[in-house]
Structure formats: structure tokens, C-alpha cells
Structure 1
Amino acid sequence: MGRARPDTVRVVDTTIQRLRAKLDESGVGTPTLETMRGIGYRLR
């Protein structure tokens, strides 16, 4: 336990990629998802 399986990591990467694309398409300001290494993600 404690280690993410490689397939699980790809699910997170894919989800973040899709969220970023939807935010870009929305045209509402410029919210961005920042990667916080070792912590997670932050919406700005």
C-alpha cells in the first residue's frame, strides 16, 4: 500500500488533461490547474 499503480496514475493524468481542455474551451477567464509536485493540483 502507499504506492499508486501505473494504471491508476494514468487515470489521474487523463482526467486532469480533460479538465484542462474543458477549462480552455469554456472561455470564462483563464482558470488553470497547476501541478503541485508531491501534493496534488490547484485551481487558480
Structure 2
Amino acid sequence: MSDQLVSVTIFILDSLHNSVMQNCTLRVQRQPVTAQLRCAEGNS
């Protein structure tokens, strides 16, 4: 079974209520079951 790559975009509100976009890649591995979430802050 191959690994699964899921691309997600996460919006985070910081303490000053500024929206910070995070471009994240979620890597799901079946055997053994692991999940890695790697994010890079997007500049808009």
C-alpha cells in the first residue's frame, strides 16, 4: 500500500486576530500507521 498525501490549507487567527494562511501537506502512512503534518506559512 502506498502512502497518501493530502494537501490542506489552514487559516490561523493569531492574538491580534490577523489571519495567517498555512499551506500544509498531510502525509498518512498505513504501515506502521503514522501521520505527518508539514506546514509552510504563506505570504499573501
Q: TM-score, normalised by structure 2?
A: 0.30
Q: Name the one with the larger strand percent.
A: 2
Greater gyration radius: 2
Q: Name the one with the larger helix percent.
A: 1
